[in-house]
Each structure stands twice: as structure tokens, then as C-alpha cells.
Amino acid sequence: MTVLVSHEGADVDLADLAGVPHAMVLFPGAFTPTCTRELSALDALWQELGEQGVAVPVLAVACDAPPVLAAWREAEGVGVPLLSDFWPHGALSRELDAFDESTGRARRTSVVIGADGQVAWRDDAPPGAARDMARLAAVLRDL
């Protein structure tokens, strides 16, 4: 299983999520316009789900280094934790068939992993197009 690094520099072992439904929202790059709009929308969704008692972990992941993600999080004033898929470069993105070899970045992909460890839902947006976080929220509420 993959180990990612949080924006704070802590290791996050995805094996700890075995048996727990969760969402992974992959971003192509910190500080880019579409990703920044999506991060804000994801943060609002993350806060809303918490207020509604929906206890599904939501992982925001990008291939940027942890210090870049920490700066992005602070610049945007969001609370959602950010995870780095920087090294080995794009390991999680590749695992989820969401890595763009031509750009060296994750594609704009969201997945919900069920308690059985299988992808229960997937959303892929074309380059430059923002995902509809309300669709993700509806899926997470139905878990």
C-alpha cells in the first residue's frame, strides 16, 4: 500500500484506511487556477460533511512536494489536509490509473473507495475543467 506525506511532513499510511470507505481527490498542481477553485470547493464540502456527521475520510492529493502543499493550504486558508504523492513520484496516482505521463502530474480525478477496498465511484474531469464537488458529496452521504 502507498505511504503519502502530509502537508505537515508526517507519513500517512493508506493501509490504515483498510476497511474504511474514503474519498481521494487528486489535483494536478498546487496554485493552478482550476485546482485552487476546486480546493476551495473541496474544503467547503469537507467542512459541511463534518458538520453533518458524515465521517468519511476525504484525502486531497497532489504530486507536489509537502512544503508546496503547506504553502498552498495556508495561502488559500483551507482546513482540509493535503497529501503529497511526490515520491515515489505519482505512486498513488499511478495505482489509481490517474497519472498523466506527459505532464508528470495527476489527472483531475476523484475516487471513492468502499470498505471492500474497491473503487465504488470515480469522476474524471478533462484538463482545465473543474469537478462538481456536489456529486462527490452526494456519493459520500450515501455510503
Q: Which residues are catalytic?
A: 35
Query: For 130, which DSSP code?
Result: P
Max Cα–Cα distance, the chain, nearest Å = 40
Alpha-carbon separation of residue 22 from 15, 66, 83, 117 (angstroms): 12, 21, 14, 9
| CA 71 – CA 56 distance, rounded (Å) | 25
Helix axes 33-51, 133-141, angle to 10 degrees: 30
Amino acid at 51: E
Query: For 102, which DSSP code?
Result: T
Please name every residue paired with 123 in a beta bridge, in sequence order, or none if there are none.
Answer: 110
Quick check: 96 and 26 in contact, CB under 8 A?
yes
